[in-house]
Amino acid sequence: MRKRAAIVGAAAALLLGATATTGAAQAADDPGALIVGGHDATEQYDWMASLQQSGQHSCGGSLIDERWVLTAAHCVDGADPAALGLRIGSPDHTTGGTEAGVATVVVHPDYATGAPSGDIALLELDRAVPNEPIELAETSGEPGTASRIIGWGLTCPVRGCGQPPVQLQELDTQVVPDSMCTLGFVDGGTEICTGGGLLANACFGDSGGPQLEGTPGDWRLTGVTSRLGSLVPACGTAPSIYTDATAYADWIQQHTG
């Protein structure tokens, strides 16, 4: 885990997939964030999940065990598990891969407090799936650490500017200093500030999806897409904030075994 250096901004950030209310958002009806400035995925991510409601992509997720998917709390808080479905391992969120239902939703207790941290949740599948899970990294890395983000979020920077892509998108980026996410209430101990450059970052519809470190074919999960890191409601205008999954390793292990 990186050193805890909580930095509180002057105003609330915009969640990538839900409208912020009092710090904790309800489950979103519209997609979360999309990746702006990326491109079609260049490799197979057998563990990548599309979280779906009414047959439509709503958020991303990562298979971390044959029966468990990790996603963002704001994607599923208050949701009925029976209304959720997952498509795992397909670069096309409309077809292919492995389909599964959700038996249980476990939202981290910190999320209910309205604090900026705790935007992480576990989904227990209704059956074990054959896909290969992704492993959790040991740490999330210091500023300058190279990382990759993937998702089906919008590829244009504002809500309503277009339709989410059918094909999975990816973008190579890096961890940046927490001070660059000041307006997003970033918590340095449990969150990661990640920048992709001008008009290049996560966007609406990417929520819950992974931040990765490693090399092609050998990725480790470090973060979960959470929200924009600035007041400007446009993607790619500032770094985005990711829940540091490595900071919640004990909580994840407690529930998944």
The catalytic residues are 74, 119, 207
- One-letter amino acid identity for 150? I
Nearest one of 34, 133, 15 to 75, comparing CA atoms: 15
Tokens representing 71 are 């996603």
For residues 171 and 41, what is the distance between their CA atoms, to the nearest angstrom?
A: 9
Q: 36 CB contacts (<8 Å, ≥6 apart)?
A: 153, 154, 155, 156, 157, 196, 199, 200, 201, 202, 203, 235, 236
Q: SS3 for 255?
A: helix
Q: What is the number of alpha carbons within 13 Å of residue 126 lying toward its C-beta?
A: 13
CA dihedral over 9, 12, 13, 16, signed as positive or negative: positive
